[in-house]
Amino acid sequence: MMPMRLAAAAPIRPLAFGLVVAFAAAASAQETPPAEPAPDGEAPAEEAAAAPEAAEPPAAPPKDPAQLEAEAKDAMRAGDCATAAPAFSAFADAIEADAARTEEQLTARFLAGVCYERLDQLQDAADALRAVVYGDAPPALIEKAEPLLLGIEPLLPVAVTFVCEEDDVTITLAAFPDEARGCAEPWSLPSGNYRGAASASDGREVPLLVTVTPGVPEEVVVLLPAASGETRNTIVEEAPPPPPPDDGRTLEWVLTSGAVAALGAGVAFNVVARSAVERGDEAYGRYERARAVYDVAGAAAARVEVEDARDDADSAAITSYVFLGTGAALAGVATWLWLAEPTVSTEGEARAVRLVPTLDGIGIVGRW
């Protein structure tokens, strides 16, 4: 009898659960007021609020660096630079924070630069190659990237701006005959020289020559001629003062300086000669003492020192006499010129005594 009671009681639990659910639904319907019908042609507010959320596609999860690297290499092997270039750039950005993979990151940027160059996206190629050349890349990689960068940089446009004192100035360049811009509008030009003109609305014009250096922004200052009846503030440079007049004593100063130098050299060589003589006297004393004790080796060494000292003294003495004689001669001539009346050169009049170049050097020419 027990199994029969269990079988009869089994349907009661689902029935009770169904009644509870139905009761909860009814209670919810009584507490929640019915939604007002929307005007014709409009969706209910709940549907309108949920519509944008349903329209937004789910965000794609970020790709793994290994997946990016594989995609880039596959595209590179297939010659698909349009896919390989951004994939290599994304792979390099993904591993940039990892210092252990710096070489791998710069290699990816080099490959991206090569692909961008093939796609004629020169600015992107230059940015990628600069990261390699100026980064901590291996020397072999820099040697490959540097020539590419040097070939691309002259082709990159450079920002050129014009600075004008007036507002109604128009800039034209001969390389772009169909284009004219206001002075405040910047230009983007490849490297090179450009001729053009800056013109005002009243007809004033000034020619321009713009030199664009690769990678260096250029700023050109435009100065138009002043309008009629207008004065322009300009900086007037004063002429330098004239040189002091010739006092007619140039030759005297030259001869005096030469005399002082020659006399000084003569005195210096005379001191050297006297020192050599003293050294010879000391060596001769050792020679005499060695002979007295029958020291043949000592006497021979002292005799050599005596002869060397005598030769040094003779050479220094002769040089000293030459310099002293030259200095005395120059001093005599300089003294005579200093005591004479100075002769100041004037136009059409020559000096009484002057230095002139000759085939052998410099000579003194005078008239008495």
pLDDT at position 284 is 86
Give start and end residues of each alpha helix (H) in the chain. Answer: 2-9, 12-31, 45-55, 65-77, 81-94, 102-118, 122-133, 139-152, 250-292, 296-339
Confidence of residue 83 (pLDDT cuts 50, 70, 90): very high
Mean pLDDT over the full length of the chain: 76
Distances (CA, A) of 185 to 35, 160, 165, 189: 59, 9, 14, 13
Rounded to whole angstroms, the Cα distance separating 33 from 11 reads: 35
Closest CA to 259 of 346, 164, 353, 338: 338
Please tell me which residue, 318 or 347, carries the higher pLDDT value. 318
pLDDT for residue 28 is more than 50: no
* 3-class state of residue 138 by DSSP: coil
The tokens for 243 are: 């040189």
Q: What is the CATH number of domain 158-222?
A: 2.60.40.1120
Give tens-digit pLDDT for 155-190: 888 888 888 888 888 898 998 888 888 888 888 888
User: Dihedral of the CA atoms 117, 121, 127, 132 (nearest 10)?
Assistant: -20
pTM beyond 0.75: the answer is no
Give tens-digit pLDDT for 56-76: 555 556 678 888 889 888 988
Rounded to whole angstroms, the Cα distance separating 264 from 255 reads: 14
In this structure, which topology does domain 65-155 adopt according to CATH? 1.25.40
pLDDT at position 364 is 62
Segment holding 192, helix H or strand E: strand 192-200
Phi, psi of 354 (to 5 degrees): -150, 160
> Average pLDDT in the 258-267 region?
90
User: ∠ CA 263-268-271 to the nearest 5 degrees?
Assistant: 125
> Is 343:265 a contact under the CB 8 Å cutoff?
no
Neighbours of 88 (CB within 10 A): 30
Rounded to whole angstroms, the Cα distance separating 19 from 95 reads: 61
pLDDT at position 219 is 86
pLDDT at position 112 is 92
> Is 131:109 a contact under the CB 8 Å cutoff?
yes
pLDDT at position 319 is 92
> Is 220:193 a contact under the CB 8 Å cutoff?
no
